């Protein structure tokens, strides 16, 4: 399905409110992953980016791109939303990097353009993975890495839509997640563990690690209410995939 127009409209509409609410958490320090802002220094997913050609899929206001550019990476931040790109441009600061409007399922770059493609709940949550992953693999050079963080199917399957929170009860079929209606016709995407493996391997990527970020008890979730509050300490809320192109 073509979810690009509706997703673009959604993010243009909510960009300002989203950044007002979440920028203090996303940009609080460099390299903070996911809903619980777990430092990459604890997870060791990205590695040294100095001098690397880096593409962020769904850069939002550029919090990650800005940090990696400051570390010496040659960064391109891609986003579907003009409003998100405007927020990134306004917050760029001294470490300059390129901003490009585009969709993760139709990357406007030549093959072998990057050493690292990554996202944190970005393009690989908001584009069909069976289209976006091969595109990411195409623009990676040999030995390049695709690293991305998405919601765990456990988290999605336990989301109680009526209550607006994640609980300990399975609400959705694990095998029926696939597309998630986000309102106004917008769509996000969720795969099973097996489907992620098949999509990644089908794109010619080697899976190096699957990190399940585990926050300490009492760590706040900046995006969702969970019941119990320590839900993600007990079950995996996120999947951080680390892969490379041989």
pLDDT 10s digits, 49-74? 999 999 999 999 999 999 999 999 99
187 token code pair: 């769509």
C-alpha gyration radius of the chain = 17
Reported confidence tier of residue 43, pLDDT bands at 50, 70, 90: very high
177 token code pair: 């997640």
Reported confidence tier of residue 1, pLDDT bands at 50, 70, 90: low
193 token code pair: 């563990």
**Distance (Å, rounded) from C-alpha 149 to C-alpha 230?**
20
pLDDT 10s digits, 171-228? 999 998 999 999 889 999 999 999 999 999 999 999 999 999 999 999 999 999 999 9
Q: Is the pLDDT of residue 29 over 90?
A: no
DSSP string, 27-79: TSSSSEETTTTEEHHHH--S---TT-EEEEES-TT-HHHHHHHHTT-EEEEEE
Once rounded to an integer, what is the mean pLDDT over residues 7-21?
96
pLDDT 10s digits, 116-175? 999 999 999 999 999 999 999 999 999 999 999 999 999 999 999 999 999 999 999 999
pLDDT 10s digits, 177-190? 999 999 889 999 99
Burial class (CB in 10 A: 0-12, 13-18, 19+), 57: buried
Backbone angles phi, psi at 154, to 5 degrees: -60, -45
Of 148, 123, 143, the C-alpha closest to 45 is 148
- What residue spans define the domains of the chain? 3-245
Q: Is the pLDDT of residue 111 over 80?
A: yes
What confidence score (pLDDT) does residue 27 get?
82
What pTM did the predictor assign? Answer: 0.96
Average pLDDT over the chain, rounded to an integer: 96
β-pair partners for 99 = 77
140 token code pair: 């990676």
Domain 3-245, CATH: 3.40.50.150
Buried b (16+ CB within 10 A) or exposed e, 144-159: bbbbbbbbbbbbbbbb
Q: Are 38 and 59 in contact (CB under 8 A)?
A: no
């Amino acid at each position: 399905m073509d979810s690009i127009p509706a997703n673009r409209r959604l993010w243009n509409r909510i960009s300002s409110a989203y950044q007002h609410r979440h920028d203090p958490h996303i940009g609080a320090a460099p390299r903070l992953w996911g809903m619980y802002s777990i430092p990459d220094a604890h997870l060791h997913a990205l590695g040294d980016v100095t001098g690397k050609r880096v593409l962020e899929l769904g850069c939002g206001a550029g919090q990650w791109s800005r940090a990696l550019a400051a570390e010496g990476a040659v960064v391109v931040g891609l986003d579907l939303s003009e409003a998100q790109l405007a927020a990134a441009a306004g917050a760029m600061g001294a470490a300059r990097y390129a901003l490009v409007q585009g969709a993760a399922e139709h990357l406007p770059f030549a093959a072998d353009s990057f050493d690292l493609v990554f996202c944190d709940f970005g393009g690989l949550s908001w584009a069909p993975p069976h289209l976006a992953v091969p595109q990411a693999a195409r623009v990676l050079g040999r030995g390049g890495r695709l690293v991305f963080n998405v919601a765990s199917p456990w988290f999605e399957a336990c989301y109680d839509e009526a209550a607006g929170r994640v609980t300990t009860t399975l609400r959705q079929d694990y095998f029926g997640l696939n597309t998630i209606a986000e309102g106004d016709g917008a769509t996000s995407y969720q795969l099973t563990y097996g489907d992620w493996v098949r999509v990644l391997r089908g794109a010619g990527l080697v899976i190096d690690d699957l990190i399940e970020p585990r926050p300490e008890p009492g760590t706040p979730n900046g995006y969702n209410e969970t019941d119990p509050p320590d839900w993600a300490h007990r079950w995996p809320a996120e999947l951080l995939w680390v892969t490379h192109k041989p």
